[in-house]
Chains A and B, each alone.
Chain A
């Protein structure tokens, strides 16, 4: 009796394959949903308005704050998926989940519920950044090189990756003798009672020495900063994957 209980429930290779497929069917959608929920919450806390509104996406703060916050979960889960499954999917999958959740949230919450036009609240494009990190991880098999090149690319490429989406909104317009961008104009016209103009954290910094090269400088600075940021969060992923806390409980 006890021998029967101890025996495997799987009696053939086909059956085992079927069980493994069923695990995938259950686990993968759950993991994607988990990524979407956790990442949306974390991104809302750390980036928030910079990603919600087109008149917040400036060339100084948005490209600096965003990669630092965006790296956290791709690095943590990326480490876990690579270390445990040798799957270079952590960064891409977390960012796909974040972006999909963001589009759904912007449409339902911001557009349908709060009445903002979708062209004022579309989410930025970050999926390519995750893909680059995953590919570098796959090709190098090293978190050191992934942090160095992938973490750097995260910071450097965020702005150019989004420029095709953003550029039409930075065309100049005139309103009552004031020059604005289309983004500023929409920010003024579409009323946000709780977000006055001065609340926007844009264009404020001391880095004025290099004239027109604001965006490249910010991007390179964000890239360098993000190398260490990526390594740090990979280390957190390493600690998490050891699951010491779980072993203590069990």
Chain B
């Protein structure tokens, strides 16, 4: 017995220590998603938040752009069927007041075309205090959530002061935090009272288990109904009539009180993509990932049909950004911003107007490893994709998707 008690105490202490040592989850499992899905589903860029410090009831805008990949995996359901722009925060720590893609409200589901460019803007209102990693997300039917880069946002203030109201088409302003709850609780409570009264009627005959079991056995199936008294039958009739009356009465009362209602609304909405005229054609000739060096090498054939020389300033794949510091100066927005500020090396120099040239781009950084992208070598089709950002002499940016077969190098 002593041994049992000491074992129980030890287990309890171990469990309590574990609970005490636990930290709240602060991410959304971005790294858990398969690299080929991250690289070839949605390319997110220019993700920004309008503020990183806010108070309850303050508004924040999450903005950015995305392009569904032309190299979307064949074995995953396409974004061109059904998708929904969402936001990755822990539950309703914010409420979403508006959500738009290319200016179109995204209250309903939609579909996005591969290879097209979309700008989004999501307006949130702070509801719960805390520090949140805010991500844009696109849920794709049959595929799941495709999570964009996250940024940290701190919310302070008094949660009790949170307000969220709406005005119905009947002109009534309602508090969405509490609207209809008292009514639902009343009707639910009424049914509890009636149901418990029925239960109490039988409990009053206590003891009911053993005596009734014995009596039913004694009487046998044919005679067992004798145990039911006329009073029981009268009570049954009263409760039956009562239940049916409450259903009918409450329904008629409700029809009178809320004569105008409408069914739940659903459906899909179309979003026209942004027209982009790119003066560039880029073809991936060769892609290799060297595992020991965490080095991603791409050989690209670039044709510049514009009127200004262009250079590669950034390569982005699977929410990781590799920057060519000769072209672009980038400062990480926070400690978890997945940007390697000087990790892109380009051999081949600027591509002059009218020129077609082969350049070699190296994206070398430990981010490949730390963000679990190295398992791209386990892809079922060995395809990779990413966004290249070219810049002309005036600083104008041209985003181009590249993709193709990738060969891993193990030595």
What's the Cα separation between A226 and B332 when bound, in Å? 60
The reply to whether the CB of A87 lies closer than 8 angstroms to some CB of chain B is yes
Q: Judge whether B192 and A203 touch: CB under 8 Å.
A: no
- A167 near B257 (CB under 8 angstroms)? yes
Per-residue 0/1 for A72-96: is the Cβ within 8 Å of any B Cβ (1 yes, 0 no)?
0000000000011111110011011
Q: Are A165 and B166 in contact (CB under 8 A)?
A: no
- The answer to whether B237 and A172 touch across the interface, beta carbons within 8 angstroms, is no
Q: Is B169 an interface residue (CB 8 A)?
A: yes
Is A185 a contact partner of B251 (Cβ separation < 8 A)? Answer: no
Could you say which of A17, A27, A93, A214 contacts B199, with CB atoms under 8 Å apart?
Answer: A93
Contact indicator A196/B86 (Cβ below 8 Å): yes
Q: Which residues of A contact B198 (CB under 8 A)?
A: 89, 92, 131, 134
Size of the B side of the interface (Cβ < 8 Å), in residues, is: 96
A contact residues, range: 35 or more
Check: A123 CB closer than 8 A to any chain B CB. Answer: yes
B107 and A176 contacting across the interface, CB-CB below 8 Å: yes
Residues of B within 8 A of A117 (CB): 92, 176-178, 181
Most chain B Cβ neighbours within 10 Å, of A55, A116, A138, A191:
A191
CB of A197 within 8 Å of the partner chain: yes
Identity of the chain B residue whose Cβ is nearest the Cβ of A131 in the assembled complex: B243
B16 CB to closest chain A CB (Å) equals: 20
State whether the Cβ of B206 lies closer than 8 Å to any Cβ in chain A: yes
What 1/0 flags go to B85-122 for Cβ under 8 Å of A?
01111011111111100000101110000000000000
| A207 CB–B CB distance under 8 Å | no
The interface bits of chain A over 162-193 (1 if a CB of B lies within 8 angstroms of the residue's CB, else 0) are 01110111111111111111111110111111
> Is A6 among interface residues, defined by CB-CB distance under 8 A?
no
- A128 and B177 in contact, given A188-B107, A202-B264 (Cβ under 8 angstroms): no
Do A115 and B92 touch (CB < 8 A)? yes
Q: How far is the CA of A27 from the CA of B172 in the complex (A)?
A: 50
Asked whether any CB of chain A lies closer than 8 Å to the CB of B389, the reply is no
Contact yes or no, A191 B145, CB < 8 A: no
A218 to chain B, nearest CB (A): 12
Q: Is residue A246 contacting chain B, with contact meaning CB distance below 8 A?
A: no
Given contacts A86-B228, A131-B194, A191-B86, contact A179 B91 (CB under 8 A): no
Tell whether B236 is near chain A: CB-to-CB under 8 Å.
yes
Q: Cβ of A85 and Cβ of B209 under 8 Å apart?
A: yes
Q: Can you identify 12 A-B contacts, CB atoms within 8 angstroms?
A: A27-B209, A86-B228, A87-B202, A123-B188, A138-B236, A167-B261, A169-B180, A181-B262, A191-B93, A194-B145, A196-B86, A196-B109
Which residues of B line the A interface, CB within 8 A?
Answer: 28, 82-84, 86-89, 91-99, 105, 107-109, 127-128, 137, 139, 141, 145, 164, 166-170, 172, 174, 176-181, 183-185, 187-188, 191-192, 194-196, 198-199, 202-203, 206-213, 215-216, 221, 224-225, 227-228, 232-233, 236-237, 239-240, 243-244, 246-248, 250-251, 253-255, 257-258, 260-266, 268
